Chains A and B, each alone.
Chain A
């Protein structure tokens, strides 16, 4: 019987966040899992793990699909002291074609909570690198993960599935990219020290922004955030002077008044030496006078504008799904084709068995009609003939398999020619 590929997936759709946290595996824990599988005497031939905040997935190649989930449960109990039986865990378990397409979908960002998420591809790559770093052989998962990375890249190159920001803070970072080119020279004013401001600052820092000024009413919170971003902390009264120095202002407070007024910005324009000025007002109610947007060189966006951007981008991404799914299907079909060619070893063994069986049958007819010496000679001769007859076909099968030229249809033809399937049944 051929090998089985299995995927056990705990993800944001089937597992609550508390349990996802428990089943999440660090690199070291994943290595322990893999070691346990590879050094055990069980049914597992290969094992790999993807673990992110939204999913923990265990991929394995099994000799016999049977008790793999029990093994996973035992390992969690043993290595992490997590009892999955009492946690009422209900992971998705997929086999062969479904498991393959699932992994490819994950790498392509099709299965992500945020459709077309980019980070997942690097997480799949990390999982792949992790198995490569271990002293075991993973011939099937090696190829499977290589193809998964190929799917991820192909989707990102040939579709718009991963393009366009799909969160407010990412949309702010995207706008920054469209206006400025040299991020390390930018100076950003963050008004408010809440979660949204912080998240936007994180995204801006990720694209290379280093210079921040934090303005907040509460002194303690602004100092904490200033320390976090190595920024200068100022009070709200100092905003007008800060406006003359910065390229971007992100405003997100709960104030009911305008913290940045038309006059304030107009006055700052005469003193500014910088060019474009991006102001993002994520507050509700708005903290930046909408008339500011009428001033030259000012690009003003409020939360509604960014929400619209996010919604439009999500819609654009959804339209790319058919093409992305087609890429997944194509590469999955290629993989399955390759996977089936691994059946060359059973084919050779079945073919040799079939010839040996015929030899035995025919030789048996002479067993009591000849002397023992003559029979021995006939036995030797027939064995040599069979070996010579099979030499080139077997050699060719092996070579074609090594060169990647052996297709499923060739193997099928061979099995049909000699009726190898029914031969096994007869013998059994």
Chain B
């Protein structure tokens, strides 16, 4: 089993890399067949990724997000799944390259730096931990996707404003489509992240007897989530569109990442009490 896990660990960035190459080819050359192959390759990578994570769970008796590099792999999988769903719904493969860059980088980093070991803390084997981290990571992935769509929006808006009709203009869907996708992804991100944080608090209450335990990461995540929620409500109330909404989505995600990065710097454990 361990040999299989190690092999797939090497194989995954390779397959994501191939998919990235195909999506890039499709974006630059607009070859629909390559786009189809890219989509199939990504689906294969997702299936293999799932098998890889399940194998880790079975072998090490751990939910495979216990370390930062394991979480990166889960993050790559989440973005892959969410992107593939969006691709199938929108029938547009041109934005794939943007997502695959992130997915490939995260998986490569994870594959290179991950260490496989059984957990020393029993909390990490608790099913509640799995639910909490899965929901949280799904939330973060959705927010990352929202930020990516917003970046695409800004790029395309700039091209249209400057009357330039190059690859970006030809390759990306309409501004309104990008805006809608970003909006849906933000909504999904707030819901998933909110649910993830809530289950974390609930779990903390069950295990430790406190609904809110002082921990720099919990505080940072809760604050970031509230800011996101506030931003989302603000966008709704003030009818913010296009450029403004995209800037809010990108700014929000950057702020969220910076807060988490600083929090991680202050406290290098999973949580201060684990």
Contacts and interface: CB of A to CB of B under 8 A. Distances in A.
Interface of A: 157, 160, 164, 175, 177-182, 273-276, 293, 296-297, 299, 301, 305, 308-309, 312
Nearest to A293: B161
A106 B160 CA distance: 33
Nearest to A160: B30
Given A157-B32, A160-B30, A301 B163 contact: yes
Interface stretch (B67-75, B101-109, B136-144, B174-182): B174-182
B243 interface: yes
**Interface size class for chain B?**
20 to 34
Interface string B163-178: 1010001000111110
B163 A308 contact: yes
Contact of B176 (A273, A276, A293): A276
Given A297-B241, A297-B243, A276 B163 contact: no
Contacts of A273: 239
A39 B173 CA distance: 53
B241 to A, nearest CB: 3
13 contacts: A160-B30, A175-B160, A177-B174, A178-B156, A178-B169, A178-B174, A179-B175, A181-B176, A275-B175, A296-B243, A301-B163, A309-B165, A312-B165
Nearest to A175: B160
Given A180-B176, A275-B176, A299 B165 contact: no
A135 B32 CA distance: 39
B179 A275 contact: yes
Nearest to B156: A178
A178 B239 CA distance: 21
A262 to B, nearest CB: 16
Interface centre among B163, B173, B239 (most CB of A within 10 A): B163
B175 A276 contact: yes
Contacts of B169: 178
Contacts of B243: 296-297
Contacts of A178: 156, 160, 169, 174-175
B160 A179 contact: yes
Given A177-B174, A178-B169, A299 B242 contact: no
A49 B156 CA distance: 45
Nearest to B176: A181
B122 to A, nearest CB: 50
A182 B221 CA distance: 36
A305 B176 contact: no
A299 B180 contact: no
A348 B161 CA distance: 69
A171 to B, nearest CB: 10
A178 B161 CA distance: 12
Interface string B128-171: 00000000000000000000000000001100110101000100
Contacts of A157: 32
Contacts of A299: 160-161
Nearest to B173: A181
A275 B242 contact: yes
A274 B180 contact: no
Contacts of B177: 181
**Which 5 interchain pairs have the tightest Cβ spacing?**
A275-B241, A181-B176, A275-B242, A181-B177, A181-B174
A179 B241 contact: no
B7 to A, nearest CB: 38
Interface string B11-34: 000000000000000000010100
A420 B161 CA distance: 72
Contact of B242 (A177, A297, A301): A297
Given A178-B175, A276-B242, A309-B165, 17 more contacts: A157-B32, A160-B30, A178-B156, A178-B160, A178-B174, A179-B174, A179-B176, A180-B174, A180-B176, A182-B176, A275-B179, A275-B241, A276-B175, A276-B241, A297-B243, A299-B161, A301-B163
A180 B179 CA distance: 10
A235 B180 CA distance: 35
Contacts of B163: 301, 305, 308-309
Contacts of B161: 293, 299
A182 B175 CA distance: 11
